[in-house]
Structure 1
Amino acid sequence: MRVRPITRERLVAELADRLAAAPRDAWTRVAVDGPEPAAPGELADALIDPLRARGRAVLRVSARDFLRPASLRYEFGREDPDAFHDHWLDTGGLLREVLAPLDPGGTGKVLPTLWDAARDRATRAQYVDVPPGSVLLLDGALLLGRWLPFDLTVHLSLSPAALARRTPPDGAWTLPAYERYERETDPRRTADVVVKMDDPRHPALVETP
């Protein structure tokens, strides 16, 4: 294993080139996984225009729009790390409404948002038709190890010290969930692409021989 320093711009370009080379008669489902301090949503957003410039349509979805209702998320309290790890994400809804329709032979009809966690109610979004050859960019935390069908997984990795340092005090209760994720899922081995983000100004690709 080696670590290759890379600029953010070069990282985006390399990922966009890789995704643009995927077959154009099917959908490509991409997970950009990482804790909030690693800013997976920013990387997913940064890929949109480069992919479109390479001739790919893009569907942008966030896992935060597929959380379970508050009654289920907070069943064991508002700051339970095991519930955060196991029960906050509505994996069934994400699979049913976003990922399965983009299976080979799928309908291509996707619901881009399901639940407004702030208002704790359904978003009432409309379904959208996603043409074959499009790239789904889904960002979120704790996405791997859930048997969700992604075609490419990108994990933004923070060391425990960096994660603790960059997590706001009111989010410190989530740290045991990320420790468990590292221990049980081992995203640095599970993901197709791993990027060290301890210093967000100087990312580095983790490459295996």
Structure 2
Amino acid sequence: MTGSAPLPPGPDAGREAVLTWLTARLAAHAARPVVRVAIDGVDGAGKTTLADDLAGRLRALNRPVIRASLDGFHQFRAVRYTRGRTSPGGFYRDSYDLGALERELLQPLSENGSYRPAVFDVTRDKAVREHARRAVPGSVLLLDGLFLHRPELRGWWHDSVFLRVPFEVSVPRGAARGPGYGSPDPQAPSNRRYIDGHRLYFRVADPEDRAGVVLDYTHLDRPVVVAARDR
């Protein structure tokens, strides 16, 4: 980091204070040439909204930001369901093309090379070829997605955030996004693949123990800093 990271706010600080602190923490990282930050959490935790909010705040501090989502690195549908459409292990192990993520985004940004923020359109189940981009020196990559603290990816992050949200909150929150996002009932059979896949991830990767920052994100307007570790 370029300087000492600020101390985290207390449990009753409120959303604005927590996000101001988190923005200052990320802004304190020196360029390497690009600071790589993971925003992790279960489906419906609020990862994308948080990453977008942080991006706006960092840009307001004149820090260049690269926004990307792991959703742009899905495997083809046939690969994702190789173990069956209800398989929790398939959800954890087969959902994403980690090789493409490293080759097209993470490795180039570690070398100040040309990168691509996405290679796949999951809605159309089709590979895409975006034009290569060049990072502005001093940029911060904010990558949101599932399973970002898995062992294969841990070494890429200069900092990371894990959003702690219980399934009884995250599942209805995710379903509220609209048709196609599943049942709001955590006990519904259609949710077994996803909930048990996350539980497998928790056992294998222990993301709360690996994250730079753990936020209790049960209440969107009142996040609480559970842990903040030096990276």
**Counterpart position of 1:175:** 195
Say yes or no: does 1:45 pair with 2:60: no
2:101 corresponds to: 94
Q: Take 1:25 and 1:158, find their aligned partners in 2: how far apart are those partners? A: 31
Per the normalisation by structure 2, the TM-score is 0.82
User: Gaps (5+ residues) in structure 1?
Assistant: none
**Superposed, which structure 2 residues align to 1:47-196 within 5 Å?**
47-103=54-110, 106-148=111-153, 149-163=156-170, 166=173, 168=175, 169=183, 170-196=190-216
Partners of 1:119 and 1:109 in 2: how far apart? 25
Matched residues in 1 for 2:46 and 2:192: separation? 17
CA-atom RMSD in angstroms: 2.1
Instruction: Give the 3-state SS of the residue equivalent to 2:62 in structure 1.
Output: coil
CA gap of 1:182–1:61, structure 2 versus 1, over 3 A, is: same
Q: By how many angstroms is 1:51 displaced?
A: 0.6
Residue 32 of structure 2 is aligned to residue 12 of structure 1:
no
Q: Secondary structure at the match of 2:11?
A: strand
Which has the higher relative contact order, 1 or 2, with Cα contacts under 8 A spaced 6 or more apart?
A: 1
User: How far 1:7 sits from its partner (Å)?
Assistant: 2.2
Partner Cα distance (1:193, 1:11) in 2: 11
Partner in structure 2 of residue 198 of structure 1? 218
Q: How many Å separate the matches in 2 of 1:167 and 1:121?
A: 24
Write out per-residue CA displacement over residues 136-190 of structure 1, whole angstroms, 9 at most, x where no aligned residue.
Answer: 0100111112332111110001235444564542444311011112222111111
Moved more, 162-171 or 41-50: 162-171
TM-score normalised by structure 1 residue count: 0.90
Q: Could you say if the C-alpha distance between residues 138 and 208 of structure 1 is closer, same or farther in structure 2, counting changes exceeding 3 Å?
A: closer
**Which residue type is aligned with residue 65 of structure 1?**
G
Q: Match for 1:204: what amino acid?
A: V
Aligned to 2:3: none
Q: How many residues align structurally?
A: 206
On the 8 A contact 1:33/1:154 being kept in 2, the answer is yes
Q: Distance in 2 between matches of 1:53 and 1:208?
A: 23
Which secondary structure state, in structure 1, belongs to the residue aligned with residue 214 of structure 2?
strand
**Structure 1 Cα separation of the partners of residues 32 and 97 of structure 2:** 29
**Matched residues in 2 for 1:20 and 1:208: separation?**
15
Distance 2:158 2:174 in 1: 29
Whole-angstrom distance in 1 between the partners of 2:221 and 2:27: 26
% identity of equivalent residues? 34
Rounded to whole Å, the distance in 1 between the matches of 2:32 and 2:201 is 34
Q: Which amino acid aligns with 1:206?
A: V
Segments of structure 2 that go 5 or more residues without pairing to the other structure are: 1-9, 176-182, 184-189
> 2 CA distance for matches of 1:165 and 1:115?
27
Give 1:79 shift. 2.6
